[in-house]
Structure 1
Amino acid sequence: MTRIVITGLWICAITVLSSFAVITWMPALPKPRAEEYLEGLTYQKLRPINIPIIAEGSVQGYVIATIIFTAEAHLIKGHGLTPAPFVMDESFRQIYGDGDLDFRNLKKYDINKRLDDIKRRVNERLGSEVVKDVMIENFNFVTKKDIRS
């Protein structure tokens, strides 16, 4: 019986000493580096926007686009405002005012240039590089005759 008690006390003493040794030894280890690649970026998905396409004096149809953008989280908090309304407004302006976008005569469209212009103009309006990337989730054209009342 005494042998079991002595063995139990020995195990407790070794556990306490090893815990103490680990606690004092751990602060000397280097801290693991945090991954900085996407740190601080926030993704925001905007509600779908409907953009009328006007040609020959009447509405020909609507472009329905869903836009997603990434922005620096610490800059959004520093500004005290969200760039979402600016991205939505600039997306509407860019697509609405684009003369090359003709759905009656379809051709390849340079969407990357348009997205870069949206990002650049939003950052100009905000006064700093808040928006890092603008992406499109959905981009459709619905003709006026296909719209249900």
Structure 2
Amino acid sequence: MMRLLFIGLWVCLVTLLASYGGAYWMAGSSGGKDEQPYLAGLEYRRLEPINVPMIIDGSVRGYVIAKLVFTADAETLRKLPIEPQIFVTNAAFHEIYTDGRVEFGKLSKYNLAEMLSNIRTKVNEKLNGEVINEILVDGINYIDKSEIRALVDRSGAAPKKTPAASGEKATH
């Protein structure tokens, strides 16, 4: 019985010493995870589509839908404390909303180069440096409000609730 107790204590002691030695050895080493150099170059980041309402005479006439991509230096993006996507989205929304030209449901020609340059300039000002290299257009479209209603009507919008349909008793 005593011999079994000493063997158990011996196993516990060896296990503790081995764990301590392993932890001590790992703490003294570089951790096995060297800092890999980050792949340098341009990085492309795609933004979520932006839906910008076009308001004419106090009412919404339609929406400009824009899909944008921006490029930036990968190392610079890695060092930023905040993701620049929100700044690009905000600047794009502002640029399209304030300077967008819609004439009775028709998307007039934008000077895209000027618009994209303005977005890039505004974002770089907010980020205090040359972070964004280029803004690219993945797609831009205009949908008139009447087209949206027609699409909803064709797709079979949810039927209006009637008292009988909702399980309530109809009283006459």
Q: TM-score, normalised by structure 2?
A: 0.60
* Structure 2 unaligned residues grouped into runs of 5+: 1-39, 153-172
Runs of 4+ in 1 over 4 A off after TM superposition: none
Partner of 1:48: 49
Matched length: 110
Residue pairs, 1:1-149, within 5 angstroms: 39-98=40-99, 101-104=101-104, 107-147=108-148, 148-149=151-152
What is the TM-score of this pair, normalised by structure 1? Answer: 0.69
Q: Which amino acid in structure 1 is aligned with residue 49 of structure 2?
A: P
Q: Which residue of 2 aligns with 1:31?
A: none
- After superposition, give the CA deviation of every residue in 1:64-90 in whole Å (9 maximum; x if it has no partner): 100000011111111222211110110
Structure of higher RCO (CA pairs closer than 8 Å, 6+ residues apart): 1
Classify 1:69/1:86 alpha carbon distance in 2 versus 1 (closer, same or farther; 3 Å): same
Q: Would the alpha carbon gap of residues 120 and 48 (structure 1) be closer, same or farther in structure 2, given more than 3 Å must change?
A: same
SS of 1:82's partner is coil
Judged with a 3 Å threshold, the aligned counterparts in structure 2 of structure 1 residues 103 and 136 are, in CA distance, closer, same or farther, namely: farther
Letter in 1 for 2:132: V
Q: Secondary structure, in 3 states, of the residue corresponding to 2:48?
A: coil
Q: Gapped runs of 5+ residues in structure 1?
A: 1-38
Shift, 1:102, TM fit: 2.1
For the 8 Å contact 2:62–2:143, the answer to whether it is kept is yes
Based on CA coordinates, which of the two structures has the bigger radius of gyration?
A: 2
How big is the alpha-carbon RMSD for the aligned residues of Structure 1 and Structure 2? 1.5
How far is 1:106 from its partner? 5.5
Percent of residue pairs bearing the same amino acid type: 38
